[in-house]
Structures are given as C-alpha cells and as structure tokens.
Amino acid sequence: MKLKGIIRNPNCYFLFFFLSLYFYFLLVFDSAIYYHYYQPIFLFDRTFLKEFLLYPGGLIEWIALFFFQFFYLNWLGSLIISALFLTIFIAAYKLIGKIGNVKPALILAFLPVSLLLVLQNHYNFPLIIAVKYLFSLIFLLLYIKIANKYMILLIHLSGVIYYILGGWGYLFYIALCILYELLFSEDSKKFIYAGFNMVICFLYPYIAARYLFAITLTEAYIYIVPYELYYEPILFKPTLCFYLSYLSLPVLMVTIFVYSKYIKTELKHRTKQLSRWQHLLIQSIIIILVGIFVLEFSYKQEEKRKIQIDYLAEQGQWKELLALSFEIDKYDRQVNFNVNRALYHTGQLLDDLFNYPQLLGTDGLFIDRILGSQIAIPASDIYFDLGHINASQVLAYEGQTKFKYNPRILKRLVLTNIINGKYIVAKKFLDLLKKSILHRKWVKYYENCLFNKSLIESDNLIQSKRELRPKFDFLINCKNPNYDLIWLLKANGNNKMAFEYLMAYYLLECKMGDLIQHLRKFRDFGYRKIPRHIEEALLLIEAMSPPDIDINFNEYSISPHTVEEFRRFNKILLQNFKNDVKAKALLEKEFKNTYWYYVRYINPKQTNIMLKERKIDESLL
C-alpha cells in the first residue's frame, strides 16, 4: 500500500526528474563550461542595476545574472538549472490541471520542457530565455487564479508584467491569457476580457517605445535577449525549436479544450480505464525514454570540447589543451589558434606546428587580421603572451565596447595598467571587479600590489611582462603581423616567443628567404639543435634551389632521420607523379604532420581557403 501511495503521488516523479537532470548537467553538460562560454558577471552596484531598469525585460535579466554567476561552480550551476527546469515542469503541470482534468498531464507538461531542454543543451542558448518562460507561466497561473474576481486590477498590473517580461515574453503571456479566456473561462464577460488583453498587448509596448524607454517599436514588441548575444562568440539565433517551445503550450491548450469537449466522454465509454498510479507510471516511463532521446539527440560533444579548449587556454593548462585538441573532429580556427599557443608554451611550436592542420596558414597563428570586438579577447591574449602589452590593452578596450563587464577583459585591463605603472587606472577597474563576489580574492591580491612595491617586484607575471615590453611603442599591423614580431625583437632581443612566432609565420607563409636570414638567431636563443620543421624547410630550400646557386647549411646540423624522411617523401611523389590523388593519400598516412605535406597540400596559397570578411564575424569558407 505504501508503494502504491508513493507511485500515485506525482511529486516522486518530479523528484526523479530533478535528480536525473541534475546529474546530467553535472556530469555531461558541465555548467562551469557554460559559465566560461558566457563569462557572466553580477555587480552589487546601483549603477549596474540601473542599466537593467532602462528597458522592459531588464529586471528579470538582472535576476537571471545573479543566479548565472554561480554556474562558476559546476555542482551549484547544475543545481540551479535543474531547479529551473523542474519549476517549469511543475508550472506546466499545474496549468494543465487548471484547464482540464486529463490523465496524461505529466506527458503533456513535459512537452514544452523537452523542447526547452533541446535548446538549453546548446551552450549558446541564453539562460534568460528559460527564466522568462518560467515567469510567463507563473504570471499565467496567477491570472487564472484571480481573473474572475480582480480582472480590472490584472489589466492594470499587466503593464508591470510587461515591464518585467519584456517584448517576446509578454506576447507569450498575453497569448496564453487570451486563449484561456476564449477556451476555458466560464465568466460571461470572457470575450470582453480577451478583447482587453488583445488591446493592451499592442498598447503597452507602443507606449513604452514612444514615451517611456529608449527602445525601438520592434524591440518593444519582440525583444528576446540583449543584442550582443546574437553575435560572436555567442551567436544565438532563434531556431524552429525555439518557436516550437513557445507554440507548444497554446497548442496543448487547444488540444485539451477539444479533447475535454468532444472526445473525452466518447473515449470513456469505449476504453478500459487505468488507475491513477498506472497512468502516472506509464507516463513516467515515456518521459524517461523521451528525455534520454532528447538529451542524446541535441547534445553536441564537439561544441563542449571547443569551449573546453578555450577554458584550458585561459587557465594556462597547455598540456591538457593539446591532449583534448586531438579529439576535435572538424577544423576550427579558434582551436587552431589556441593549439599554436599551447605548442609554444610547451616548447613544441617549431617541432610540432603541423600536428594540427594549419588550414588557414597565418590566420590560425594570429586571429586579428579581420579586426572586430568579437575576437578582441583572444587577440588580446596572444599579444599579452608576446609581451606587446599596449597592443593587448588596446584590444581589451576594443572588446569592452561590446562586452562592457566581461571579467576576462576587466582583469586584462587591470594587469596591463599595473605592468605599465598606471596604478590609478588599474584601481578603477579593480574597484569595479570588487563588486562581484566571484572575483574578490583576485582583486584583493592586486589591490595589495598597488600599495606594496615589494609584492609587485616578487610577482613573476608582472615582472616577466615588464621585461618583455617593447622599449618604444609602435602601431599594431593586423594585416602583416610579422612586422609586429620584428619590431618586438628589435625592441627586446630576448623575446623568444616573438622569435618562434616569426619563424612559424615564415613557415606558414612559405617565405624561405626570410627564414634563412634569421637562422643565426637560433644560437642566440640557446637552441641545441634546429627544430624539426626548420630542418624540413632547409631540406626543401636546398632541393628547390637552382643547381648553380650554392646554399651552405653545413653549420646547421640536420638529423639523418629527417634527411631519410625527406627522401622517402620524394620517392612517393616520383612514383606517383601522374596520379596526385594517390600520392596525397599515401603521403597523408605518414607525412601529414610535416612541413613538406603542408607546402604541397594544405598551404592556403594552394587550396585557396581563406577567411571571408563579414560585418560581424568571420568564418571558414
């Protein structure tokens, strides 16, 4: 009897749903990766709050940001997001119970939740959409509860609800209210109330746009999320599933109405009735199967790995980054860029550069040829690595034009200003970051640095970057980053990263003459042997040079193994000189990670693969 009592109680199914969802987000989705992708920040500050009060829907975004910051901890973020979806599930279940006594209520309530889960399973889905969806259902349940007694009050409160939900969320809420009045309300004035709702649906957004807020009419009616989320790196785009998730509830309401009025009585006479616990048990099994399918179908492991690559780069976990990069199936420029950084930091750049396919050549080495705020953070990272502090700072400011409160940008501006000795400016950014509970420990350390000279002098990061700083300033050359590297070397001849990146640039651009001119620098930087890819390039230069031109490489010892590999490479080419497709297939098996294979088959000058310039972002054609 106790077991049947438990099974009859829908709360046990909700609990099971919550636990299943929690472990999925904790172990598979990883809410901390979701946090890293968005870099949300919440400031306990009046000015920060006021910015969200300047437009309809902003207040609820402010609330969502408060909770989103805790996704920094995977276990806590997973708890919050699971609780959010559980609450949506319960609210949908309560709604169905209010409008019709139907047996498959659990399954029907799970339908909009499943569609939202498909969306949430992608890292570029804004959490705020699910939060607004929940509030729309809560306001609808409130409407149903008090509509008959306090309709005039509700109509007046509708303006407040519009301000809370914003354009798209408010349209969704009003549409549900109108449907409820037309289909389920027993009040004799239901058509009048439905008409009132329809009028205020158009009236409040119009008044808001024309007289109250600095927003357009389009934003007033169909605002979904802040504009910056539509562009890189988020690239959110309303999909068919997005619209279906909002359409599902109106469709359910119409279906329940038709079923209750025309079908339910007929089926009751013709079918065998199952008990309540049997209904709930069957529904829960269906929900489990559908939930597994939904999550499995919509989850993109590749998407997570790419974000993890960026996360590992930010944390400086270069070996882990390189290990994960081998699991990426499809070429990605951002991954290529971070792999190249990791290769340098692990001392492998000129030995293993071509272990990752350099499909875009130097555009995978430097990411800012097509300059824009969407790539400002990674571009700032590479210049910071190189010791080009002013360039890193310029790009951080560029990124701030779109992502005003991004903590990575704010931290970069703190560091660059401290390195440059501009402590007052650094303090302004520290004061801003101090208002976020997640970054207070970091802020406290660098605040102490501002007033403690010995602490700054003992900080390895600050001192190493001060030593690498150019002794004179120069402009960034995004189109020809090799000029920046040359200037960095002229300004500081000990900049090993600038030297290795310059050599990598010449390799990728196939500028053999420039490569030869810098060979002596390997001794200056203490190399015991020439790196593998440089050996491969020297053998290629020698083979391609006319017989009457003598190039003496005697002072540079090339390993016998590399020489033998080059002979084998050429032998395969000669044996298949009439069938280049076969030659490429054979060479790819053994030599795809060599400079020779890159020059012949991957070099963008051969493949014509290049970046396409667009107003907002850039992509691989």
Report the 3 state secondary structure along 522-544.
Answer: HHHCCCCCCCHHHHHHHHHHHHH
281-321 pLDDT, tens digit per residue, is: 666 676 677 767 777 777 889 999 999 999 999 999 999 99
93-140 pLDDT, tens digit per residue, is: 899 888 877 777 778 888 899 899 999 999 999 999 999 999 999 999
Mean pLDDT for 194-215 is 91
472 three-class SS: coil
Say how far apart CA 231 and CA 374 lie, in whole Å.
Answer: 7
The C-alpha angle with vertex 397 and arms to 391 and 400, in degrees rounded to 5, equals 145
pLDDT of 517 higher than 70: yes
At residue 401 the predicted structure's pLDDT band, cuts being 50, 70 and 90, is: confident
Q: How far is CA 216 from CA 207, 225, 237, in A?
A: 11, 14, 20
pTM, full prediction:
0.88
- The predicted structure's pLDDT at residue 620: 30
Say how far apart CA 437 and CA 539 lie, in whole Å.
Answer: 57
Mean pLDDT for 501-512 is 93
Integer-rounded Cα radius of gyration of the chain: 31
Mean pLDDT for 262-281 is 55
Inter-residue contact 616 to 373 (CB < 8 Å): no
Concatenated DSSP letters for 200-268?
A: HHHHHHHHIIIIISS--HHHHHH--S-GGGGSTTT-----HHHHHHHHHHHHHHHHHHHIIIIIHHHHH
The Cβ of residue 511 has, within 10 Å, a number of other Cβ atoms equal to: 13
Residue 376 corresponds to which tokens in the numbers above?
């400002």
- The predicted structure's pLDDT at residue 424: 94
Question: Which residues lie across from 613 on neighbouring strands?
Answer: 618
Which position has the token pair 């300004």?
491
State the chain's mean pLDDT as an integer.
86
Question: Which residues lie across from 619 on neighbouring strands?
Answer: 612
300 three-class SS: coil
Concatenated DSSP letters for 35-71?
A: HHHH-------HHHHHHHTTSTTHHHHHHHHHHHGGG
Residue ranges and CATH numbers for the domains of the chain are 36-71+87-299 (no CATH), 371-477 (1.25.40), 500-613 (no CATH)
The C-alpha angle with vertex 35 and arms to 33 and 37, in degrees rounded to 5, equals 70
